[in-house]
Chains A and B, each alone.
Chain A
């Protein structure tokens, strides 16, 4: 079979390129040294640097969470004062949202995987990609200098008029987040252009991996929603610095307007955080079931549906804010509509397992954890979307538990699934499977012990952002704190075995999971330009009924822009008649 029909108008000569199991040249052993890393335009290195940064911020945010939970072991002062507590929960929220969840999957894993899944050498604008990393760092440094200077006590939501009256560094932190937003916009733009223009021959929209559909939907939201946050933060700064009345009633402004602006970004932002997680789940569940995804188009299009409807539901954060009754009703209705495509995905994933060949490796364990925890997050979201129930539950621990089930049980667990799944590809090393499963156990149990009690105390009336609490909630708070320590242990174990893996891990093959995904047809770790050849795709990414040879095709007469022709192992059956 020397040729492959990739379109109606062109016939390409292809041959088989089997990835080497012992690559000489990888992106890790080319361009070495600090300066090379700092100036690299390689999407893989940029992805790793994002991953490192996100890990660092996750550590900071996580330690803050443990301090908060420790303070809540007893009512009133346990070991820190109220103002310190208020600053800690503000920082925990702001760091986890802006510095961890938003860039985690798209900028870290997405950067690494997206061009490889497209069979491209890099993203469409490699320099812009590096720029977005630097903007992220600048925003981070800016924010942290401001925080070190005077702290921040407004909650991550910056609600006015509290934030306009606060004596902490509101202006500088909002400017830091403003800068950070550009990083997000540029990454989104870059991904959109890359997915549109740089697909390898044969990758039609119907053969696009679902991870890329998810990243595509995410990028659309990033590009459209983030500027609104930027405008809001600028207006807040103008009010603070120039005294122009926009949100502060004392100056003739309207505080509820701020909430509209803020949630117009921040609600779509929760989809920036979760939708890329959906992408990872689709990849991992098919690989470890060795089976075609169930309902490819249902999953692909539901990501887009979520992205678009997600723009129209921001008002559900404001049911008791005093916004108009008509608006409240419409927002509640639309909120339920956005729940449907999410539910469809869950059921399609479960259906994918049916008659599969299921291997419970660590990434798959995280997928199972995700499906369970994220479902709970989804159902409690339905509860909060119902108007009368939300009146009772708004701003209680029920909401805290809900968004941790969605953001941590969803996004972060998906990130862990993706990290363990692509780790061999990124590093060329395997990790200790046994320890990884132990850690997953700690995380699953610790997570539920932490957050299930919060649903109960929330519906009993425990408000969020409370330093002090009345005695009846003590037992729930203490259980929750113990759970958070278990979670901490889980993450420590992960840090330990991943470090061991980097140092002395067993060598990983090019395709340790037997996936049909294109990124697994590169070496582990990949070559500097991902592939030695221009890949040609004739099957969908989940066509497990087709033999592996058909996923290893590339243009027969191209050297992928390189001067020298690297050695390949053409399969005689496929390339024989060439």
Chain B
């Protein structure tokens, strides 16, 4: 049994007790995304407006006439979390400037799943990041279009079986590698980008706090385990997130003004098989495929370490 990855074993007790995302929401048992939202809201605090794309979280949390949100919240459609957020941010900014609302900072936070971020929502996200709005975009990545029943997305990893690229005599699941969204956002010169996972709650919450303070766009990519879609046991949600990090499949790092930094660095990477074996969506993988995945994970991890070592921050590069 693994002990929590950081030394602050008793730190959970110091975390803000208030639940801005209340119980009574209709997420599945063991939903990693619901947990991640709950943690994110704790880190954000009251002065936040949440802009939500259509997806699991929007559907399970706001069935009229009830809402699980103790924060102001708006949902419009699937591809436009970032553009609605841009409007909210601009509206709040102008109203504060004209003295029509209270003179204090209220952060706009856009949330969306991997569908609403990688695929259908990519245009709006790119536009909002490029325009430099003061908003935080958090992508909750459960690696498929879970709300519509586990269809393949650009975030689905190689070899995973989903309902739109299932395994069968003629197919071995998804044949393409996962899109690296953090790098796409880094190309937009966003001052703060981070990857996170709910299994490292304090790391995640610290990143959210840091992103909240940025005056400008920021992006956090949070891996969230979906027991329903990944075909895993509901109690293993946290364990699987930890394994994703420990095997190097989903490294946790920050890009702060161009400077890469690992925030959780396993001493030695575990074999990816430890991560793939408990998941029903990878059940069909042959040893060849597993090796292919292992090779690729090592390559991507080394690529990241290379960046951590060699790339400089924007300040350092000013010359």
Report whether chain A binds chain B. no
Chain B residues at the A interface, C-beta cutoff of 8 Å: none
- Residue positions of A touching B, CB distance < 8 A: none
